[in-house]
Structure 1
Amino acid sequence: MAMTDLLKAEEIKKALDAFAAETFNPKKFFEMVGMKAMSAENVKKVFQVLDVDGSGFIEEEELKFVLKGFSKDGRDLTDAETKAFLEAADKDGDGKIGIDEFEGLVHE
């Protein structure tokens, strides 16, 4: 499944452009691409696209490339942005983001 099967390409582009510099805010990004208004089931489908290795988790290494999961034109997150994203979503402190943690962050 492609990200554009779940989200509008123009909204993805607009959100990526808004965070072109070192200012990535996952909650604001998810709202801009339309994920906040999605059902929990559809947010979980987005998670599955972002979970590149299919482990059921988005680990720190995958998180760095999360914007590329939305569009090949997306940039890599900086180390600081990656850590902040992980801290915002990783509620159980295991160093990775599970599907329920991801959905919780989107709808927080």
Structure 2
Amino acid sequence: MPMTDLLAACDIPKAMAAFPAAEPFNHKKFFELCGLKGKSQDDMKKVFHMLDKDQSGFIEKDELALILKGFTPEGRDLSDKETTALLAAGDKDGDGKIGVDEFVKLVSEC
């Protein structure tokens, strides 16, 4: 399923344009700009499963680094610093990965 089945096609490029280069990434602003924050928990879970490329039930650090590419193929990779900060914001149980409930909470708290 393409991300545009859940999010407005015009919102994704707008969100990407706000973070064109490494280091200014702000997940709260990104989730708001792309329209994910205002979606239902079910839609957030669908997005989670699209971002969970290996279908492990978790978004691990390597998948997290590619999160913007999950929204559009033109997205950039997050830097190590950005990835670590995003993981720290979402990993509430300290297991080094983000589960679906943690992802929903991460997006909802923005």
**TM-score interval (norm. to shorter):** over 0.9
Deviation of 1:27 after TM superposition, in Å, equals 1.2
Cα deviation, residue 10, structure 1: 1.3
Cα shift readout 1:31-74 (whole Å, capped 9, x = no counterpart) = 11111110001000000100000000000000000000000000
**SS of match in other structure, 2:10:** helix
Matches within 5 A, 1:40-51: 40-51=41-52
Q: Give 4+ residue runs of structure 1 displaced > 3 Å after superposition.
A: none
Gaps of 5+ in 1: none
Question: In structure 2, what is the equivalent of residue 72 of structure 1?
Answer: 73
Does 2:20 correspond to 1:20?
yes
Indicate the residue corresponding to 1:30 in structure 2.
31
Cα shift readout 1:14-34 (whole Å, capped 9, x = no counterpart): 100101122111111001111
Specify every segment of 5 or more residues in structure 2 that has no aligned partner in the other structure, as ranges.
none
How many pairs does the alignment contain?
Answer: 108
Seq. identity, %: 62
Tell me the residue number matched to 1:105: 106
Deviates more, 1:48-57 or 1:1-10: 1-10
CA-CA distance at 1:107 after TM superposition: 0.5
* TM-score, length basis structure 1: 0.98
Q: Aligned to 1:9, what secondary structure does the other structure show?
A: coil
Of stretches 17-26 and 49-58 in structure 1, the one that deviates more from structure 2 is 17-26
Which residue of 2 is the match for residue 2 of structure 1? 2
TM-score by length of 2: 0.96
Query: CA offset at residue 2 of structure 1?
Result: 1.0
